[in-house]
A and B are shown apart, each in its own frame.
Chain A
Amino acid sequence: MYAYDEIDRTLVNERVSEFRDQVQRRLSGELTEDEFKMLRLQNGVYLQLHAYMFRVAIPYGTLASNQLRALAHIARKYDRGYGHFTTRQNIQFNWIKLSDLPDALADLAEVGIHAMQTSGNNMRNVTSDQWAGVAPGEIEDPRIWSELIRQHTTLHPEFSFLPRKFKIAITASEHDRAAIKVHDIGLKLIKNEKGETGFEVLVGGGLGRTPFIGKTIKHFVHGRDILSYIEAILRVYNQYGRRDNIYKARIKILVHELGIEKFSREVEEEWQQIRNSSLQIDDEVIEDIRSRFTYPSYEKLPHMPDELRQAAADPDFEAWRKNSVAPHKVQGYSIVTISLKPTGGPPGDATAEQMDVLADLADKYSFGEIRVGHEQNLALPHVAKRDLPALWKALDKLGLATPNVNLITDIIACPGLDYCSLANARSIPIAQELTRRFANHELANLIGRLHINISGCINACGHHHVGHIGILGVEKNGEEVYQITIGGRADENAALGTLIGPGVKFDEVADVVEDIVEAYLALRERPEELFMDTVKRLGVEPFKERVYATR
């Protein structure tokens, strides 16, 4: 966990006071909506279909148990008893009143949580691997660098009025769980030949209307230079990014139009002017941040405790363990992913009760720490293997032990037309129907790893472009129509999916997915060949033929 210092606490508290004053002036009519809009957006407040939506940042996906309880409190006191975890390590509350927002922010500030820069044309929440600090083989904990960037960019005047929003993600593992290749800047922690810590820097990734996979702009930037290098990228973007056309304003368009070579030359030129400035980071700064992260005092535990051996006889436990439990860097411990994708449930939603009990379970079994992943699931990062059976029972009682992590029902979906003012079609009911269709866990396991991503409009909050099966809802002649893509992925081999044909109607989407899955099961050469392997081997044609043969 990271402990805020006095500067952070003062900043957050002052921001609450400012916003309280701004809301009062808005409600009294002293501020018009035009004047107020940017102020509310800078505090994570959107207007959606039915109400205001409040987006709260969970920097690099790390939550303490008292912070999760505070989120439960917000859901219960100011909203309708639940929250929605997003694809960028935020949580959203869908029904909050503007008049309650200052109090909600004040309650969150007490536990060091805020909503700054969760909206608007600024640097958004810096995201990272939800297994940061515990994943085996990691270069080092990427949250230290995430925190450095968070501190530097929060309320930075130069980054507060960018041409468009700007998102950074950081990973320190070979297997990318932070989707860095579809971010404006993606950072991969690496070591150079001297053993020094630095970053491979990618730029210009993004989804939305015009999707691009990020390109490597620099193969190694030393850690001490990372702020100046990021600043150089942002300066070039600030100077040349389009402000006249919202659809062409993201950095990905600039990188695409200039070309990565020209863009990198511009960045290099800028960087040479600022790299030896005060932006160069002293080791002490990094060590100070590192010292504010606390790590558990792990016990020396056996690799295979008796409790785990005995529980293995229970097939339900084993189904969950195989699916939800991942290796930890410390022997005797595990990382436990908690699926927020129950059969028939909205992906990513958690009730206040679930959050409260989960906070208790985190205290009991995970040193009080919870993680949030971009797949809209949670994780307990430090669970002793001996505790896995007891944890599983507790999660099961809470409805949080669905054994479907990374399987076909572990669906990423945006709120869609049920909530979102930009959406053209519903996402959640499609996801719910698919979770019912594939509710049989034996079938889901037979299918194996398969990610479905659903977006309710071209803005792609459900990351449909990078779903193994991507579903995009559009509107055609007043009806919801869904375009299906195949072959996308968001990991270290990130790729955009290929459209397989004309859109299908709302009622047909689950049938189409079933057809694709049946085709895959028939086409794969062996059970170990994953869906993406089959797509890679055969292309999309066989799937297209299967889907449209009878349509």
Chain B
Amino acid sequence: MTSPLQQKLKITGPSIVTANRTWDGVVIYRTAAKDWSEQLADAAIVRNADEAKALLAESVADDVGAIGPYIAPVQVDDAGKILPGNLREEIRRTGVTIDLPV
């Protein structure tokens, strides 16, 4: 779960590009349609460094819509369902692992 802010670009398996939406900070994922979605299921999958760099580059270019795009690992199960590749991304997708105080 080393923070992506402290990581070098390294692709070891299926990956996606994720960011936060600029106006409200909500977690978003880059889609194959060159847009953003709140659903991980809509994310474009990349499988090598060149694809990842290209997806990241187009994501970074949308500076108005998204903040801090980065490449994150995912797992894709036999049915094609995309799952977060680590606890950090699981928490970003599903929220905090604790009950909120309210």
Contacts and interface: CB of A to CB of B under 8 A. Distances in A.
Interface string A67-106: 0000000000000111000000000000111110000000
B22 A429 contact: no
Contacts of B24: 51-52, 97-99
Interface of B: 1-3, 5-6, 20, 22-27, 63-64, 67-68, 86-88, 91-92, 95-98, 100-102
A47 B3 contact: no
Contacts of B97: 418, 426, 429
A47 B25 contact: yes
A50 B3 contact: no
Contacts of B88: 49, 417
B100 to A, nearest CB: 6
A399 to B, nearest CB: 9
Contacts of B87: 417, 478, 480
B98 A432 contact: yes
A286 B98 CA distance: 47
A346 B23 contact: no
Greatest chain A CB density within 10 A among B1, B3, B5, B100 is at B1
Nearest to B92: A49
Interface in A10-51: 26-29, 32-33, 47-51
A423 interface: yes
A540 B5 CA distance: 35
Contacts of B96: 50, 418-419, 428
Contacts, number: 95
A337 interface: no
Contacts of B102: 80-82, 351-352
Interface residues of A, number: 42
A110 interface: no
B100 A82 contact: yes
Given A80-B100, A80-B102, A418-B97, A32 B1 contact: no
Given A81-B100, A423-B3, A457-B3, 20 more contacts: A28-B64, A29-B63, A49-B27, A50-B25, A50-B92, A52-B20, A52-B25, A82-B102, A97-B23, A98-B22, A99-B23, A345-B101, A346-B101, A418-B97, A424-B2, A426-B97, A428-B96, A432-B98, A478-B1, A478-B87
B1 A417 contact: yes
A350 B102 CA distance: 9
Contacts of A518: none
Contacts of B22: 26-27, 33, 98
Interface of A: 26-29, 32-33, 47-52, 80-82, 95-99, 345-346, 349-352, 417-419, 421-426, 428-429, 432, 457, 475, 478, 480
Contact of A428 (B6, B26, B67, B98): B98
11 contacts: A50-B20, A50-B96, A52-B20, A80-B100, A97-B23, A418-B96, A422-B3, A425-B1, A429-B98, A432-B98, A478-B87
Nearest to B3: A422
Contacts of A417: 1, 87-88, 91
A28 to B, nearest CB: 8
Contacts of B101: 82, 345-346, 349-351
Nearest to B1: A475
Contacts of A345: 101
Contacts of A99: 23-24
B56 to A, nearest CB: 14
Contact of B20 (A27, A47, A422, A426): A47
Nearest to B60: A33
B48 to A, nearest CB: 21
Contacts of B1: 417, 423-425, 475, 478, 480
A47 B92 CA distance: 12
A435 B88 CA distance: 24
Nearest to B2: A475
A417 B86 CA distance: 12
Nearest to A456: B1
A353 B25 CA distance: 25
A33 B68 contact: yes
A300 to B, nearest CB: 40
A331 B99 CA distance: 42
Given A33-B63, A33-B68, A421 B3 contact: yes
Contacts of B91: 49, 417-418
A95 B24 CA distance: 9
Nearest to A37: B67
Nearest to B19: A47
A423 B4 CA distance: 10
A429 B91 CA distance: 13
